[in-house]
Chain A
Amino acid sequence: MTSLLDIKNLHAGIGGKKILKGLDLTIGAGEIHAIMGPNGTGKSTLSYVLAGRDGYEVTSGDVLYKGKNLLDLEPNERACEGIFLAFQYPVEIPGVAGTTFLKAALNAVRKHRGEDELDAMQFLKHVRGKAKELGVGDEMLKRAVNVGFSGGEKKRNEVLQMAVLEPSLAILDETDSGLDIDALKVVADGVNAMRSPDRSMLIITHYQRLLGYIEPDFVHVLANGRIVASGGKELAQELEASGYAKYTDADAA
C-alpha cells in the first residue's frame, strides 16, 4: 500500500532484443534493496528503463512510482519527481562547469517542488558542506563535469549530486565498479549518510563487496530478465559463497 515503486511484469529491451522478461519488484519508502546478478542479465537495463533513457523499449508491464505511471514521464520529469540514477559510467561533459551543471539541476528540481531557485551564492553555500564530506573541493566542483576525473572522483561526484538533489529513490548502478577500497568507503559513507525513512535505494551490483558497507534490507537475484530469488541480506553472503550458477542453470533449463 505504501510502496514507493511498484514494478509489475516488466518486459523491456533495446533494439528488438528482449532483456527484461517479466520483472516484478516492490520497494517501500525508506527501504534499501539490492539487485544482484551475473553480467548480461538486465541489471543496467532496469536502471535505464527506470531513468527513462531513449532507446529502451517497454513492451509490456507497469511501473508505478508514487502511485503514478512512471513510464509516462520524460527523464527530467522523473528526476524532478525524485528519481536519481547514479551512473555506472558517469558522462564527461567538456565545457560545462560542475557548478553550472549542478546549479541548473538543483534549481530545476526545486522549481518542480515549488521551492525558490537558489542564486549562485546560496547555491555554493548549500553545496560546499556536502562536497566537503565527500572530499570534493572547490577546484573539483568548478572543473568541467567529470572531465579528467579518476574513477573514484567520478563516483564521489555522483554521490555528491545525489546528496544535493535529495531524491526519494536513488538507483546506484554498479557504483562499486572501478573503486579501490578507500574510495569505496568514502562513497559508501556518503550513501549511508543519506539513509532516511523518506528515501529508498536500489543498489545494483555484481559483487557482495559493496553490500558489506551499505547494508540492504532486501536482496534480489536477477537472472535472465527476472527476479528469481529474494531474501534478506544473508542472501548476498550466500551468493558470494556459492555464485550465481544455481539460478542461471535453473532458469536456463
Chain B
Amino acid sequence: MASKSTPLTAFAEQLDGVAATLPRQDLGWLQDRRAGARDRYRAAGLPTPRLESWKFTNLNRLPRVGFKAAALTDAPSVDSVPVGAAITAEGAVAVLVNGQFRADLSKLGDLPAGATVLGIADALASRDGLLEPHLDRISGQNEASLAALNTAQFGDGVYVHLAEGVTLERPLHVISIGAARGEPVAFHPRLLIVADAGSHGCVLESHVGAGDGAYFTNTVVEATLGDGAVLQHYKLQNDHPAAWHTATTGVEIAAKAVYDSFVLQIGAHLARNEIAAHILGSHAECHLNGTYLLRGKQHADNTTLIDHAAPESKSREVYKGVVDDQARGVFQGKILVRRDAQKTDGHQINKTLLLSRGAEIDSKPELEIYADDVKCGHGATAGELDEDALFYLEARGIDPETARGLLVEAFIGETIDEILRPTMRNALRDIVAGWLTEGRHDGATEKTGVGT
C-alpha cells in the first residue's frame, strides 16, 4: 500500500482512520478545523518541487518509506529522555514522545503564577476554551499543506501561556522525541505559545530520536506575542540520522514586542524548517538566526519569511552553515515590506562554508518591498576555509584538524553571538563543538536514510 503512495496521495488514505482516533470529537470548533485541514491537505498532497518555495527540497522519497501515523501503530515505550542529544538547560521540561505529551517524563512543577504549560490533549479535555481562540489561527492561514497535515492529525502537543506582565525566569524546554522500531512512524507535534502583553519568556525546542527506526516528525508551532512581549525561541533539530523532519512555525508580533529566534539544524536525513514571522505592530523587533551543520548525505532547508506589515519595526536575520561531504543545505529568506510598513529596518545575511567538493548550498535571498522609505539589505556568500588563515594557525604549531575546527567555530560563532540569552549561547556552542569532534572521530559518517 505505502509503496504505491505518491506525493499527492501520501498520508491521504490514513487521514480518516487517524481522525477517528483524535480526542474531543464532540467539539464543533475543533472538528471544523480538522475537517478544513483534511480538505486542504487532500487537495494539495505533499509539497513538490513544482512549488516555487520547494524548488530545492524534494519530498518525493518520503511516501516510499511507508510512514504510518503514530496513532495507528504501537509505538515503542520510552522511559527516559535521551541524554546529550538535547539542549542542556535549567528550568521546566515538557516532553513529547511521538507527538504525545508525557506528564511522567515532564517537569512542570515550579512555574511562576500566570505561566501555564499543559499537554494539549489535557487542555482540550478540561479547558478547551483556552485553545479555541488560538489553535490553527496562524497555521490555518498558511497555504502549506504540511501545516494542514499536522492540524488534521495531531492529537496532542504543548500549550504555553504567559499572562500579561508575567516573566518566566528560566526557560521552558520542550523535548520532542521520535521513537520508532521496525515500522516507520509519522507524528505531528504541536506547540502553541501565547505570550500576552508585557510578558517575558524563553522556550527551547529540542528534537531528538530514541530507538533506531525511521520516523517522520512534522511539527507546527504557533506563537503569538502581545504588545511589548519578549519571546526567546530557540530550537535544536538533532533528530535520528534516518529521520525526516519538517516544521512550520508561524509567529505574530505585536507592537514593541521582541521575537528572538535561533535554529540549529544538525540531525535528520532530511530537514526543512520554515518560519513565517508577521510583524503586526510598530517598533517591534524580529530576529531570525540559525546555523546548519551537515555531513554525509544530509539535507537541511531553512526557509524564512519576515513580513513587515507595520511601520518602524526592525528585523535581523543571520543564517550561517557548514556543509561537508555530499550534504546539501538550502536557505531561502524572504523579507516582505508592505506598503504601510514605512521606516522598516531589515537586514539579512546568509553565509555557508563548503568543506568538500561534493557539498552544496542553494541560497535564495529575496526582498519584496512596497514601501518607499525603508532600509533593507541582504548578502549571501559561499566559500571554503581561508587557506591563509589555516597556514597561519599551522605555522604556530596547531594541527590541521584543530586549525579547521577553530576556523569553523569562529565562523559559526558569529550567529551564536546573535542569541539574546547568554546561557543559551554557551549551550549551543557546546553542541557545535561536539559536532566538530564527532566529525574528527569518524571521518566518513555515511548515514543513509531509510528508503534510499
**Chain A residues with a Cβ under 8 A of chain B:** 51-54, 74-76, 78-80, 84-85, 87, 90-96, 100-102, 104-106, 108-109, 112, 144-145, 161, 165
Contact = CB atoms under 8 A, between A and B. Distances in A.
A91 B392 contact: yes
A95 B411 contact: yes
Which of A101, A106, A109, A161 has the most B CB atoms < 10 Å from its CB?
A101
B406 A96 contact: yes
9 pairs of A and B residues whose beta carbons are closest in the complex: A95-B410, A79-B397, A105-B396, A108-B397, A91-B392, A75-B394, A76-B394, A109-B397, A96-B410
Contact of B393 (A74, A92, A101, A144): A101
Given A76-B395, A94-B414, A165-B397, 4 more contacts: A52-B394, A76-B399, A95-B413, A112-B397
B396 A94 contact: no
Nearest to A100: B406
B397 A96 contact: no
A79 B391 CA distance: 11
A108 B400 contact: no
Given A53-B391, A93-B407, A79 B400 contact: no
B389 A79 contact: no
A108 B398 contact: yes
A74 B403 CA distance: 13
Contact of B398 (A52, A54, A78, A104): A104
B402 A104 contact: yes
Q: Is the interface of B mostly helix, strand, loop or mixed?
A: helix
B388 interface: yes
A75 B395 CA distance: 5
B410 A79 contact: no
A165 B388 contact: no
Contacts of A109: 397
B90 interface: no
Name the residue in A53, A90, A165 with the highest tally of chain B Cβ atoms < 10 Å from its Cβ: A53
Contact of B395 (A85, A92, A94): A85
B395 to A, nearest CB: 5
Nearest to A76: B394
B110 interface: no
A76 B407 CA distance: 16
A23 B413 CA distance: 45
A78 B381 CA distance: 34
**Most A Cβ at <10 Å: residue of B392, B395, B414:** B395
22 contacts: A53-B391, A53-B395, A54-B387, A74-B400, A76-B394, A76-B395, A76-B399, A79-B394, A80-B397, A90-B392, A91-B389, A93-B389, A93-B392, A95-B407, A101-B393, A102-B396, A104-B398, A105-B396, A105-B398, A108-B397, A108-B398, A161-B396
Contacts of B413: 95
A93 B393 CA distance: 9
Given A54-B387, A95-B411, A95-B414, A104 B406 contact: yes
Contacts of A93: 386, 389, 392-393, 407, 410
A171 to B, nearest CB: 10
A53 B409 CA distance: 23
A74 B394 contact: yes
B397 to A, nearest CB: 4
Contacts of A105: 393, 396-398
A21 B399 CA distance: 31
Interface string B300-331: 00000000000000000000000000000000
Contact of B396 (A53, A74, A79, A112): A79
Nearest to A51: B395
Contacts of A96: 406-407, 410
A94 B410 contact: yes
B392 A79 contact: no
A239 B213 CA distance: 76
B394 to A, nearest CB: 4
Contacts of B402: 104, 108
Nearest to A94: B410
A219 B393 CA distance: 30
Interface in B73-118: none
Contacts of B407: 93, 95-96
Given A94-B410, A95-B410, A76 B389 contact: no
Contacts of B403: 76
Contact of A76 (B388, B400, B410, B414): B400
Contacts of A87: 392, 395
Contacts of B388: 91
A104 B409 CA distance: 14
Contacts of A145: 392
Contacts of B398: 76, 101, 104-105, 108
A96 B407 CA distance: 7
A223 B417 CA distance: 50
Contacts of A94: 410, 414
Nearest to B413: A95
Contacts of B409: 95
Nearest to B412: A95
B279 to A, nearest CB: 30
A22 to B, nearest CB: 26
Contacts of A90: 392
Nearest to A89: B388
A102 B392 CA distance: 12
Interface in B179-220: none
Contacts of A76: 394-400, 403
Contacts of B387: 54
A165 B393 CA distance: 13
